[in-house]
Amino acid sequence: MHHFRYHGDELFCEGVSIETLARRHGTPLYVYSQQTLTDNFRRLDEAWAGVRHLPCYAVKANSNLAILRLMADLGSGFDVVSGGELLRVLAAGGPADRCVFAGVAKTEEEIVTALRAGIHCFNVESEQELERIDRLAGDLGCVAPVAIRVNPDVEAHTHAKITTGTYENKFGIPFDQVEELYARAARRRNLWLRGVQMHIGSQLTRVQPFEDAVRKVAPLVQRLKDRYGLEFFDIGGGLGIVYEEALASGDPAWWQTPRGRRMLTPELHAARLVPILKPLGLRVLLEPGRFITGNAGILVTRVEYIKKTGRKTFVIVDAAMTELIRPAFYDAHHEIVPVRRSKAAMVECDVVGGVCESGDYFCKDRPLPLPRPGDLLAILSAGAYGSAMGSNYNTRPLAAEALVHKNRSALIRQRQPVEAIWQWERPAPWQR
């Protein structure tokens, strides 16, 4: 259950008014609920109590230092996909020895940084990467912990841009090549074969693809464990969330879709997978990201104009694809609700931003109580892949972010000063 509710006609995050936060910090503004973040992490952690496990929060979902600190305090590990994300985790107080480092294009500098920090493991995506890690570990006089990422060629049945587990994707080693690669890796002096990893995609709403992949890979993992003494099996992330959710009741059925279908829960996920994984006798690593932060955050935006063309009603707001690119990039659905409930007539609207792209929209032909200029709207389920994918396109400053804990709030990222956008740019020496 998330902690964004209407109290009377006004939307609150836990015990703090969204309207008050918008007056204090301006808009566009991300607002996160600490209680929701905590509840989501603990729920997943408890669901997997039947097997030794470590949740490794996927930093790419939301990399704000305050959220990383909270995850570290809750005992989470971390899934990082760049040297920058690793340094963020360390800056937030997260331990390097609970970080797994994924990604297909790790540079020499990133590998050296991770080795010196004492990374828990590299998730290796190619044989050339394995060779590079071995060489750099030798140069540093250390042994590098590695887990080869298996591509199981299992269809995740999710959006084409976030599926990762088939041979059409750039990730991992083809299933039928993995054992030979482990054999070659075992002959390298500076590698420690610590585990096996896989990840089939993001925003999965059915448990069957997870089960298909784990059942396919588990016998391979058992053989590799027997041969090389592996310690863990990292099954990746991908647990989906509900996006199509109304707040009108003030007490939404968070784990039901609007059509009443049962949503994939951590309990169902664990119930189907633990019986397959437990006989392996390995620690299970999970990489939750969206599940932890997605429904723990909203994007608050102010209406600037209402524009009627005869065919369309456009609600033009001060947020844009620079703050939340998911609708433009994935055609993703996000519920949009008024911060202060209105009795205005319902009108089919396109809620759009001010960026000079026709794709800059948050919804199309969505029935909404017609707002007025100056009204505040909340774009829900924006805590994952929202701020983290923000940009300065059209020289727009990055949005501010606030964290709420009970009746307290804190600004955890100041709005970027516009001058900071070009602070590292310079005219060429021959220009006046």
Is there a binding annotation on residue 231?
no
* Catalytic-labelled residue, pool 56, 99, 121, 356: 356
CA dist., res. 59 & res. 134, Å (int): 26
Region(s) of the chain under CATH 3.20.20.10:
34-289
Say whether 326 counts as a known binding-site residue: yes
Write the DSSP symbol of residue 59: G
Across the range 375-386, mean pLDDT stands at 97
Type and span of the H or E element at 338: strand 336-338
**AA identity, residue 80:** V
CA distance 164 to 158: 10
Strand 16-17 vs strand 10-13: parallel, antiparallel, or unpaired?
Answer: antiparallel
Q: Which CATH class is domain 34-289?
A: alpha beta
What gap in Å lies between CA 41 and CA 125, rounded to an integer?
28
Q: Which residue, among 70, 92, 31, has the nearest Cα to 404 in the 3D structure?
A: 31
Banded model confidence at residue 163, pLDDT cuts 50, 70, 90:
low
Integer distance in angstroms from the first to the last C-alpha of the chain? 59
Which position has the higher pLDDT, 299 or 158? 299
Residue ranges of the chain that CATH labels 2.40.37.10: 295-422
pLDDT, one tens digit per residue, over 271-309 is 999 999 999 999 999 999 999 999 999 999 999 999 999
Q: Is residue 359 a known part of a binding site? A: no
Q: Phi and psi (nearest 5°) for 344?
A: -65, 155
Q: What percent of the chain has pLDDT over 70?
A: 92
Max CA separation in the chain (angstroms) = 71
Examine the pLDDT at 162 and tell me if it is beyond 60: no
Give the pLDDT confidence of 39-94 residue by residue, as tens digits.
999 999 999 999 999 999 999 999 999 999 999 999 999 999 999 999 999 999 99
Give CA angle at 133 (129, 135), nearest 5°.
115
397 in helix, strand or coil?
Answer: coil
User: Which H or E run includes 268?
Assistant: helix 266-277
Q: What is the rounded CA–CA span in Å between residue 317 and residue 315? A: 6
Annotation marks residue 356 as catalytic: yes
Amino acid at the residue 173: I
Q: Tell whether the model's pLDDT for residue 166 goes beyond 60.
A: no
Nearest residue to 13 via CA among 30, 276, 360: 30
Going from the C-alpha of 288 to that of each of 4, 43, 46, 180, 268, the distances in angstroms are: 21, 12, 14, 30, 15
Reduced to 3 DSSP states, what percent helix, strand and coil does the chain have, rounded to the nearest 5? 35, 25, 40
pLDDT at 260 over 60: no
* Rg for the chain, CA atoms, rounded: 23
Q: Has residue 332 got a pLDDT over 60?
A: yes
Asked whether 94 and 71 are in contact (CB, 8 A), the reply is yes
163: its two tokens: 């599926």
pLDDT the model gives residue 252: 39
Residue 230 has pLDDT above 50, yes or no: yes
Predicted pLDDT at 2: 87
- Please tell me the CATH code under which domain 295-422 is placed: 2.40.37.10
Residue 389 has pLDDT above 90, yes or no: yes
Helix (H, G, I), strand (E, B), or coil: what is residue 228?
helix
- 223 labelled as ligand-binding? no
Q: Which token pair is 81?
A: 């996909």
Q: Which of 315, 369, 367, 288 shows the shortest CA–CA distance to 37? A: 288
Is 340 flagged in the annotation as binding? Answer: no
| Measured distance CA(228)–CA(184) in Å, rounded | 12
pLDDT at 249 over 50: no
Write the DSSP symbol of residue 240: -
Q: What is the pTM of this model?
A: 0.93
Is 188 annotated for ligand binding?
Answer: no
Half-sphere exposure of residue 231: CA atoms within 13 angstroms, side-chain side? 11
- Counted residue by residue, the chain has a size of 432
Q: Which residues of 47-74 are buried (b: 16+ CB within 10 A; e: fewer)?
A: bbeebebbbbbbbbbbbbebbbbbbbee
Type of residue at 366: R
Of 288, 302, 292, nearest in space to 400 by CA: 302
Q: What is the mean pLDDT of the chain?
A: 92
Q: Is the dihedral of CA 259, 261, 340, 289 positive or negative?
A: negative
- Judge whether 154 and 174 are in contact, CB under 8 Å: no
